[in-house]
Every structure is written in C-alpha cells, then in structure tokens.
Amino acid sequence: MKFNPNCKKPNTCEECTDRCIKNIAFLYGLPEEKQIDILRHSTHKTLRRGDFVFHEGDSVESIVIIKQGQVKLSTYEADGRENIIGIFADNDTIWEGVFSAASSYPYSAVCLTKTYCCYIRRADVESAISDPKVALKVIHMLSNKLHDANERSRILSISEPVKRVAAFLIYREKRSNEPYFTLRLDDIAGSVGLRAETVSRNVRKLVSDGLIEKVGRSGFRIPDFERLNSFISE
C-alpha cells in the first residue's frame, strides 16, 4: 500500500503507508507483532509550508519521518541571522536526541513545502533497541550521521564561494530521490554561510559555465557530476 496523504484516519499509520518503519533502518526487520504495535501508537500530521514540526527547546518525544515534503532545521543568531543545520526531504528521518534522557531539540524544524510527517513514539523506540541486533543498527546509523556532519563541515571549509555553493549543490543532489531538487536561494545561503546575493551571483556563474542547470524558478540539476567535482578540486 502506497502512502496516502488524503487518508481519513491520520492516527492509524497502518492505513496510510506500507509501514513507515521501513524508513528507519534500525527498526525495519523487527518481528511482525512488534512492528504492528509500534505503528498502532504512531501518528500522522499534515503540515503547511511555514508550519513548525517542532521548535528549538521542545522536548524530544518521538522520531519524525518526513513522508513527503521538505523540512529545514535552523538556529538563529542574536541578530536574527539564520543558520541552516540541514534540509530533510521525502523519507528522511529526524531522530537526534531520541536516545538521550530529557533531551530537547537544539534547533527548530520548519516546513519548506506542504509536508506529511509520521511520528514514532520515543517509548516504543527505547523498547525496540533493547534487542542487541537493533542496537548494532543504531551504531551503524550514528556512524552515517557522523559522516554526514563531516561532509557538511568540509563544504563550509571551502574558501571560494562559488566552489562552496557547487559542493553544497552536489551534496543536496545526492540526497534527492528526484531528477532534480528544489531550494530557495535564501535556504542555500543559510546552509553555506553566505549572503543570498553572493549565492545568486555564483549560481548564475555555474549555470553560465554549464556546470549546473536551473529547472523552473528554484530547481537545480547537475548534468555532469565528474565535471563539477573537477571544478571544485581545481
């Protein structure tokens, strides 16, 4: 059964999806009865663009699965400047802090598009990881998260703005399941620590040089990864 955003029973995950658990690597593969029990307690929410999935400082009570849509994680400086921690899209999972006692979110999550979320209760997750096999999968996922964080740090360390923008676009394209991905210039700027005007200027240069392609108003596609990687390495 495919995901149905028009489902009339938003609190019964089993009715809306071929099991949201399959998108949480360390939970998929649990015994059938355990999966059913977890899904029975899960909930779905439909959120509009601009809605918050959670606010900075909120208690971490569940794993959040982005079934469809885009969500950005952000913090704000005292002067109001936004720092984007990450952008999550279809089937991505937000689960940081769920294993820490009395944990709260260090950032806010806001929807960039209309978004459908599934929430898996923290208590159910804690019960599941008592299985040693599940615990090993958690370690594997933590390693992947660390690798991803290191990749974002590498991008921010690139001194030339045009190459930093190019590296970030490669990073986003690799995480996309679509032929192209959509991002506003402001969101790219917040992700790479540059002004929106600087990002706009360098995006135009990359398009002019044939290294990236624009799709519509805010869509991007990379026609040749090897060529763009070579440009960044120059």
Establish whether domains 13-131 and 154-233 are of one fold.
no
Kindly report the pTM of this predicted structure. Answer: 0.64
Domain ranges of the chain: 13-131, 154-233
- So what's the pLDDT on residue 1? 32
Is 154-233 assigned to CATH 3.30.300.30?
no
Tokens describing residue 40? 């029975």
What pLDDT tens digit does each residue of the chain (234 aa) get? 344 444 444 454 554 445 566 666 666 667 777 777 777 788 889 999 999 999 999 988 888 988 889 999 998 887 878 888 888 888 788 887 777 767 888 899 999 999 999 888 888 877 777 777 777 777 777 777 778 778 888 998 999 999 999 999 998 888 777 778 888 888 898 889 899 899 999 999 999 999 999 988 888 999 998 999 999 988
Cβ(129)–Cβ(191) under 8 Å?
Answer: no
Distance, CA of 67 to CA of 20 (rounded, Å): 8
Tell me the sheet residues that pair with 43.
119
Task: Name beta bridge partners: 181.
Answer: 220
The CATH number of the structural domain formed by 13-131 is 2.60.120.10
Contact 125, 98 (CB under 8 A): yes
Tokens of 118: 């599934």
